[in-house]
Structure formats: C-alpha cells, structure tokens
C-alpha cells in the first residue's frame, strides 16, 4: 500500500495536497474521454490533481491491447476504441466511474504504485461493509470470491494519468456476457448492491472520496461540477 509519512507530508507542496473532486451527471463516454485528453494536454506544474466521478451511458470500451475476439456480440451497444491500457470492458448506469487525473512525478508515484493505490482505495471502501475484496498480481482490478467487482485502466501522458477505475454498484450486469471482460472468457462480474456494499452510486461516491483523500494525503478537497476546469 502506498502511504505518506508525516515527515513526507510536511515536505509536500500545498499543490500536491489539493485535490479537486469533480462530480458529473451521466455522460456519454467519448466526450468525457476527449475532455480528459484535453485536460492532460493543457495542465502544467501548478494544475491541481482531479478526480472525476460520474456514470456513463451504455458503452463497451476496447483498450490498446484489446482484441476483437473478446467482443462476442456487442449488439446495439456502441464500441469505442480508446487509449487506455487493458482489454475490453463495459460501462453503464449504476457503475461508478472515477477518472484519476494525477501528476505522478509531483506525487513521486510510479504506475505500478498507482495501480496498487487504486486497488487499495477500493478494498478500503468495501471493507467496512464486510466485503473481503482483494487484488490479483496478474490481473489488475478488485475481486470478491473470484468474481470481479471493479476494473482498472490507465494512460500516462507527460507524466500524468487519465482514465481510472470502474466500480460495479447497482447496474445491469448482463452486457458483460456479450464480451470476455478484460479479456477473460467466463469472467464473472459482481456488484456492491448484491454483496451488501454501497447500495447507490451516491453512497459509493461519498465513500470513495474519503478513501482517495486518505490514500493521496489530500488535505484540501474542492468539490465542483461540470467540465469547465479552466476556472478552478
């Protein structure tokens, strides 16, 4: 688990401890993806890190390593080829998306450390509900009894990350049967609602912000809405 000692936190610039939490309504995937790219291209050394929290309209996304063979029968759900790592997954209403827009160099984080941090955020979120979630060394994401409850996918550009994680909260899981989730045939998907976890996306949002604040040593949280980050 990545953590920051008290001594380290005293030496951390205030900009690193500031974290903007941007809550959005349900969005189509492509517009948010392009906004993440634009934000990352335009940010500089003084741009605060951000978390974007939202849900998506139904979509399959195929990562850079994605193979067509894992799209079994997408049907009427659009497929978007994107610039994150990983294979193919599904996003839809009732699934909490958290896009993680961090300056890794400023936070002295490696990509593997960030993946571990994201997994720990999810594990810590679910633990108070009595859900024994865990990560796998060979398959990024978070699992419960062999079934996947959350997926991860990242892109690093200019030392900064975008994309992030998807937590199944209270959604229609059936579209996952149209693909091999994350490239694994027969991968079972589960969700918080069925395991006694957060029952709504709003509840999961509140919990995950607390977990991120702890893991990132964010002393100053700024909550906002909309995609007009130029005015933050």
The answer on whether 89 is annotated among ligand-binding residues is yes
The answer on whether 111 is annotated among ligand-binding residues is no
Cα 197 to Cα 133, 167, 194, 206, 218, distances in angstroms: 11, 11, 7, 13, 25
The answer on whether 129 is annotated among ligand-binding residues is no
Q: Which residue of the set 160, 182, 192, 211 is catalytic? A: 182
Among candidate residues 133, 148, 126, 134, the one with its CA nearest the CA of residue 207 = 126
> Cα 162 to chain center, whole Å?
9
The answer on whether 19 is annotated among ligand-binding residues is no
The answer on whether 75 is annotated among ligand-binding residues is no
The answer on whether 110 is annotated among ligand-binding residues is no
The answer on whether 164 is annotated among ligand-binding residues is yes
Cα–Cα distance measured from residue 51 to residue 96, given in angstroms and rounded to the nearest whole number: 12
The answer on whether 151 is annotated among ligand-binding residues is yes
Cα–Cα distance measured from residue 9 to residue 16, given in angstroms and rounded to the nearest whole number: 9
Catalytic annotation present for 192: no
The answer on whether 107 is annotated among ligand-binding residues is no
Count other C-beta atoms under 10 Å from residue 10's C-beta.
Answer: 8
Cα–Cα distance measured from residue 168 to residue 128, given in angstroms and rounded to the nearest whole number: 17
Beta bridge partners of 190: none
The answer on whether 197 is annotated among ligand-binding residues is no
Binding-site members for substrate are: 84-91, 151-153, 164-166
Q: Which residues are catalytic?
A: 182
């Amino acid at each position: 688990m990545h953590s920051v000692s008290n001594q380290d936190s005293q030496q951390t610039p205030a900009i690193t401890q500031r974290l903007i939490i941007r809550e959005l309504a349900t969005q189509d995937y492509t517009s948010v993806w392009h906004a993440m790219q634009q934000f990352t291209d335009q940010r500089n050394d003084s741009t605060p890190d951000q978390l974007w929290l939202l849900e998506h309209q139904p979509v399959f996304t195929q990562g850079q390593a994605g193979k067509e063979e894992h799209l079994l029968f997408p049907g009427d759900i659009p497929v978007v080829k994107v610039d994150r790592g990983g294979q193919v997954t599904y996003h839809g209403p009732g699934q909490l998306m958290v896009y993680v827009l961090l300056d890794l160099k400023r936070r002295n984080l490696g990509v593997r450390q960030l993946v571990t941090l994201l997994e720990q955020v999810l594990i810590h979120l679910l633990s108070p509900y009595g859900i024994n979630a865990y990560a796998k060394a060979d398959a990024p994401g978070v699992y419960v009894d062999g079934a996947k409850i959350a997926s991860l996918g990242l892109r690093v550009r200019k030392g900064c990350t975008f994309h992030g994680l998807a937590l199944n909260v209270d959604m229609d899981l059936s579209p996952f049967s149209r693909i091999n989730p994350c490239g694994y045939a027969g991968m079972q998907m589960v969700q918080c609602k069925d395991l006694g976890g957060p029952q709504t996306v709003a509840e999961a949002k509140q919990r995950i912000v607390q977990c991120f604040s702890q893991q990132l040593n964010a002393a100053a949280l700024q909550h906002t809405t909309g995609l007009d980050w130029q005015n933050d």
